[in-house]
Every structure is written in structure tokens, then in C-alpha cells.
Amino acid sequence: MGRQRGGPVIELRNCSKRYPSQLGQAAVDALEGVDLTIRPEEFVCLLGPSGCGKTTLLKAIAGLVSLDEGEVYIDGDLVTGPGPDRAMVFQDFALLPWADVVTNVAFGLELRGVPKATREKKAFELVQAVGLAGFDHHFPRQLSGGMQQRVGLARALAVDPQILLMDEPFGALDALTRRLLQEDLLTLLDRRRKTVVFVTHSMDEAVRLGDRVVLMTPRPGQVRDIVEVGLPRPRPPDLEKHPRFAELLEYLWQQLREMRP
Amino acid sequence: MNYALNGRLGTGRLAKRTTRAGLQALSLATFALGWELLARRLDSLLLPGFVETIAALVRLLTTSLLWEAVWLSNQAMVLGFSLAAVFGILLGLLMGRWRPAARYLDPYLNILLATPKAALIPIVIMATGLGLLSRVLITFSYALVVITINVRAGLSLIDPGWIEMSRSFGATESQLWRKVFIRGAFPAILTGLRLGLARAVSGMITVELLLVALGLGRLILDFQGRFDSGRLYATVLVVVAEAVALLQLFRWLERRVAPWAGNGVDR
Ligand SMILES: Nc1ncnc2c1ncn2[C@@H]1O[C@H](COP(=O)(O)OP(=O)(O)OP(=O)(O)O)[C@@H](O)[C@H]1O
Ligand SMILES: [Mg+2]
């Protein structure tokens, strides 16, 4: 809202995170010296093997995890906690089971003290926008996984963040639902222009969605490589046929294979 | 996809509900009939028939004797239960969210849980006398544990993911408590209150029968002493009816405020 073209820059400087040892378990170095600059209105995908610290990195940007070393800056401001400029979408949806769709979508606004009528109007619009018209008063357990994540997405968009942080949002969905949600996400973002940091396990997904793909090494997570996707936007429906698509997948696969322990 | 589905399930549920009500009515009718037949068969002063009991009940209901007893007994019960509700919810919340508190309080909770509470009655009466206070304390101790345990169990069902999600949207500590912990534990809190209420009623009657002859317990003892079995049974029916009515009220409340916890489809 009223934001100048360009949006915020996210800068991670030398970020390290160690989870201290607990009850007989060794301490875990989740991140080590991560430097990364995310450009305004860019869609960045974080790709890397399981346990390499992708979620930790995303939470550091969200302000949910305190780093042991290094800092995160958004437009030059040090991140010390969650803020209204960021919203997160979770792998397991994190919907409140006692709240219907509209109330779930409005939850972020509710926490920010937006009056009921205003926030429900906004939530109602977003329910339509994510393709859930008519499901306003259903409860999460009455929805399929794909529909639940649409609710999660609507909740994040409802607070109108400049930065969208998505942690394997489609990881729990079947292949077909996943493709549909990928397409719908791109359409939604087309009209909203946000900076997106998107964690995924899937090379295919990273290439379909991202402007750049950040490849991370196994634990402790470091940035191994950053790949410019360079595929046209809006992404054509037959993206697979693009020679660049196959080339990128091949390259990412090589890189990931070399990292195999 | 699901309007048709909901409609079908809706009528299905209605049919189910009528069958259930029918079966319950049948069960009660069989019981009353069996009772009446048994009483006629035995033809004893000690066992009044169902009809006789109901007649005695109707007569009792028109006297102030019963209502004064109900009022007296329930004073202690309501006060004791309310105190137990406040403390039980607070303790449960504290123990559910703060591990040291749980560790510290667990032994006491277990002791209270394991002790037959009737054993506490003489101790409480020795300490506080035969007045209202002792009866309040006893109903309180009957109801407290089950409320605490249920509230705590309710909190353990709160998904850490909901907490993290709320934080990511900037929830304050007090918002977290109100909108996540307490809201999420609400069905369990109501269940705890319902069970606590049943305990409180049983505490109220036990103390009146055992030590402080007063209220409904006193009535029961009086009628027993006079071999007035019709009114004795009628008074017991009143106690049972009160307990059942209160429990049903809570059941209904639970379903009203926590529709998501049920297995219904659309409410
Ligand atoms: N709260 C925590 N306490 C202790 N260790 C943790 C915690 N969170 C994560 N870890 C550890 O830190 C490492 C990185 O975790 P993280 O969740 O960031 O990885 P990830 O790349 O998101 O993995 P995945 O792809 O499986 O989601 C893992 O080894 C994990 O076990
Ligand atoms: Mg993860």
C-alpha cells in the first residue's frame, strides 16, 4: 500500500545458527555464515537437502529465530522480531481448527487490532481471490489439503505484507493439487508484486516459480550456488518445452547429486 | 461438492437423533416399569413403587421443606464449585504452560487424585467446624483435581505450529493466551467443569450424609429414620435429577461453543 516501486531489499549477513544440545543430543549447526541478498520484488527459491537449515533461514527472516551470529536487514533495518512487512505460509498450514475459513483468513488482521467488520470484509475478498468462494464458513477439517493451504495463503495475503515467506507450502500436497496451486500463486502475485522467499524440496517447483534458485549445502547450511532462472514471465503453460527448463533441472540435479553425503 | 452431502448427512443426523431419544425414553420406561413391578411383588415398606415415589415427589415439590434443603445444599456446592473452577482453571493453565509448575504441583495433584476424598471430610471439619466454610472446602476439594487435569490436558493439545503462526503475525503474549491457549483448550475446560460439577454434587451430598446433617442430606437421613420410603426415594430422585440436568446443560454448552470438536459436519 502506497509503497514505491521496488519494495524492500532483504540482506542476510554472515548468518549462523546453532541449536544448543538437548538431553543427550549434540548441538546442531543449522546455518553457517550465510550471505544472501534478495532483490526487491524478487521470487527466490531456497533449495537444498532435508535438514540443511532452510526453515531456519526463513524463520530468521521472519524474526522467529534468533541468530548466534550475523544479522538480517530489511531495507537496511535490523530484524529483531516479526513485523507487519512480512507474513508466513506454513508447510502444515497452521490453521486454527476452531475458526472457520473467514476467521482464519482474518486472524493476522485480528492480531493487529483491525476491527471485525473491516477484517472480515478483507478476508471475504481474499477467500474469493484464492478460489474458495462459498467456503467462507467451513471449518478447516472440512477442507482438502489444497483448500487448507489456500486459506493459509489468503491469511498471509490479508495482512498485505511486502514480503511473503513460504516454507514448503505445497510440500504436503499431491502432484496435481500442487501444480494448480503453483499456477494460482503466480497469478495472485502477478497482481500484487511482492518479494517472495519460497522454500522447496522440489527442483521442478523451484524452476517453475523462481526468478533465482538458491542452492544450499547440507548441514550446516551454506549458500552453495545461486542460479538465475531466466525463464519468461508470465510463465507459459508449456514451460516444460522450454529448452532452458530442462537445462536448469539438469544443472540443479548435478549440483544436488554432488552434495550427496 | 458438499452442499448435497451436508444435506444428506443432516437428515441422517436428525433421524439418528430421534432414534436415540426414542431408545432413551424406552430405557427409562422399562426401568420405571421394572421398578413398579418389583415393588408390587415384594410389597415391602422399604421399597416404594415408582408411582408412589412420583406421587411423593409431587407432594414434596409443593412444600418449602424440599426447596429450603435444595437451597441450603446448593449454596455450599455452588460456592465450592465456583472456587474450584477458578483455581482449577488457573492451576491447569499454569501447569500446562510452565513445566516447573507442573513438576512442583504434580505430587499434590496425584495425592488428591488418589485419596478417597471422603477421608478428608473429618479433617476439614476438625479444622474449620461445621459451618458453610467446611462444606465449601469439601465440595471444592472434590471438584478441583478433575478440572485442573482437564485444563492441563487441553493445553497439551495446542499445536506449537499455531503458536509460531500467531507469533509470525505479531501476536503479543496476552493475545497468545486469549486467542490460542484458552481458546484452543476451551472444550477441555468445559469438559473439566462438567466433570468437576458432578464431583461437587457428590461432595455436597457425601458431607451432608456423613457429618453435617443439613440440606438434602439431612432430608434423606430424616426420611430414612422415619421409614418414609416414598419421600426418601423422591429426595434421591431430586438429587439425581439435579446432577443430570446440570451435566446436560454443560454438554449442551460444550457443543454450542466448540462445534469443531464434535464429529458433525456442518454446524
Ligand atoms: N528447535 C530446534 N531445536 C533443535 N534443533 C533444531 C530445531 N529446529 C531445527 N533443528 C535442527 O536444525 C537443522 C536444520 O533444521 P531446518 O528445519 O532449518 O532444516 P530444513 O532445511 O528446513 O529441513 P527440511 O527440508 O527437512 O524441512 C536440522 O538438523 C534440525 O534437526
Ligand atoms: Mg523445513
Residue B246 has pLDDT above 70, yes or no: yes
| pLDDT computed for residue A199 by the predictor | 97
Residue B85 has pLDDT above 90, yes or no: yes
| pLDDT computed for residue A49 by the predictor | 87
Total number of domains in chain B? 2
Residue B262, in any domain of the structure = no
Kindly state whether residues B103 and B24 are assigned to the same domain: no
A90 touches B at CB < 8 Å: yes
Q: Which three cell numbers stand for residue B196?
A: 468437576
**CA-A31 nearest atom, ligand 1:** 14
Residue B265 has pLDDT above 80, yes or no: no
Interface of A with B in 198-217 (CB under 8 A): none
Contacts of B257 in chain A (CB under 8 A): none
Kindly state whether residues B154 and B192 are assigned to the same domain: yes
Report CB contact under 8 Å: A108, B259.
no
CA of A91 to the centre of ligand 2 (A): 8
Amino acid at B241: A
Kindly state whether residues B161 and B113 are assigned to the same domain: yes
Q: Within a 10 A sphere around the Cβ of B228, how many other Cβ atoms?
A: 16
Report CB contact under 8 Å: A139, B260.
yes
Kindly state whether residues B67 and B13 are assigned to the same domain: no
| pLDDT computed for residue A2 by the predictor | 39
| pLDDT computed for residue A28 by the predictor | 87
Label residue B260 by pLDDT band (50, 70, 90): low
Q: What is the mean pLDDT of chain B?
A: 86
| pLDDT computed for residue B127 by the predictor | 87
Is there a contact between A204 and A256 (Cβ–Cβ < 8 Å)? no
Residue A232 has pLDDT above 80, yes or no: yes
SS3 assignment for chain B: CCHHHHHHHHHHHHHHHHHHHHHHHHHHHHHHHHHHHHHHHHCCCCCCCHHHHHHHHHHHHCCHHHHHHHHHHHHHHHHHHHHHHHHHHHHHHHHHHCHHHHHHHHHHHHHHHHCCHHHHHHHHHHHHCCCHHHHHHHHHHHHHHHHHHHHHHHHHCCCHHHHHHHHHCCCCHHHHHHHHHHHHHHHHHHHHHHHHHHHHHHHHHHHHHHCCCCHHHHHHHHHHHCCCHHHHHHHHHHHHHHHHHHHHHHHHHHHHHCHHHCCCCCC
> Which residue's alpha carbon is at the smallest distance from atom 26 of ligand 1?
A50
Residue B266, in any domain of the structure = no
What gap in Å lies between CA A56 and CA A69, rounded to an integer? 13
Nearest 5°: the CA angle B3, B9, B15 is 140
Average pLDDT over residues B46-66: 88
**Residues A120-132: tens digit of each pLDDT:** 999 999 999 999 9
**Residues B130-155: tens digit of each pLDDT:** 888 988 999 999 999 999 999 999 99
| Listed residue (B93, B61, B57) closest to B186, CA to CA | B93
Q: Of all residues in chain A, what percent carry a pLDDT higher than 70?
A: 97
Q: Higher confidence at residue A199 or residue B14?
A: A199
Kindly give the residue spans of alpha helices, DSSP state H, lying in chain A.
54-62, 101-105, 107-111, 116-129, 145-158, 175-190, 203-209, 243-258
**Residues B89-124: tens digit of each pLDDT:** 999 999 999 989 889 998 988 888 888 878 888 888
Residue B165 has pLDDT above 90, yes or no: yes
Residue B10, in any domain of the structure = yes
Average pLDDT over residues B219-245: 88
Residue B155, in any domain of the structure = yes
Q: Which residue has the cell 530484524?
A: A79
Which of B163, B167, B168 should be substituted to probe chain A, the one whose Cβ sees the most A Cβ atoms within 10 Å?
A: B168
Which has the minimum average pLDDT: A89-103, A135-149, B1-15? B1-15
**Residues A142-198: tens digit of each pLDDT:** 999 999 999 999 999 999 999 999 999 999 899 999 999 999 999 999 888 899 999
Residue A3 has pLDDT above 50, yes or no: no
Kindly state whether residues B235 and B159 are assigned to the same domain: yes
**CATH number for B165:** 1.10.3720.10
Nearest 5°: the CA angle A123, A124, A128 is 115
Kindly state whether residues B38 and B70 are assigned to the same domain: no
Residue B209 has pLDDT above 90, yes or no: no
Kindly state whether residues B8 and B67 are assigned to the same domain: no
Kindly state whether residues B115 and B16 are assigned to the same domain: no
Q: Give yes or no for residue A52 CB within 6 A of ligand 1.
A: yes
Q: What is the mean pLDDT of chain A?
A: 91
Domain that holds residue B222: 48-257
Kindly state whether residues B236 and B109 are assigned to the same domain: yes
Kindly state whether residues B64 and B115 are assigned to the same domain: yes
Report CB contact under 8 Å: B260, A82.
no
Q: Which three cell numbers stand for residue B236?
A: 434421591
Residue B263 has pLDDT above 60, yes or no: no
Residue B212 has pLDDT above 60, yes or no: yes
Side-chain half-sphere CA neighbours of B201 within 13 A: 17
Domain boundaries, chain A: 10-85+162-258, 95-160
CATH node for A10-85+162-258: 3.40.50.300
Residue A33 has pLDDT above 70, yes or no: yes
Report CB contact under 8 Å: B170, A83.
yes
Kindly state whether residues B39 and B62 are assigned to the same domain: no
| pLDDT computed for residue A261 by the predictor | 67
Label residue B7 by pLDDT band (50, 70, 90): very low
Q: Give yes or no for residue A64 CB within 6 A of ligand 1.
A: no
Is there a contact between A91 and A98 (Cβ–Cβ < 8 Å)? no
Average pLDDT over residues A5-18: 85
What distance separates the 2 farthest-apart alpha carbons in chain B? 74
Looking at this predicted complex, what is its ipTM? 0.91
Kindly state whether residues B100 and B133 are assigned to the same domain: yes
| pLDDT computed for residue A228 by the predictor | 93
The predicted model scores a pTM of 0.83
> Which residue's alpha carbon is at the smallest distance from atom 1 of ligand 1?
A19
Q: Are strands A10-19 and A43-47 parallel, antiparallel or unpaired?
A: unpaired
Average pLDDT over residues A61-85: 93
| Listed residue (B265, B196, B224, B217) closest to B14, CA to CA | B265
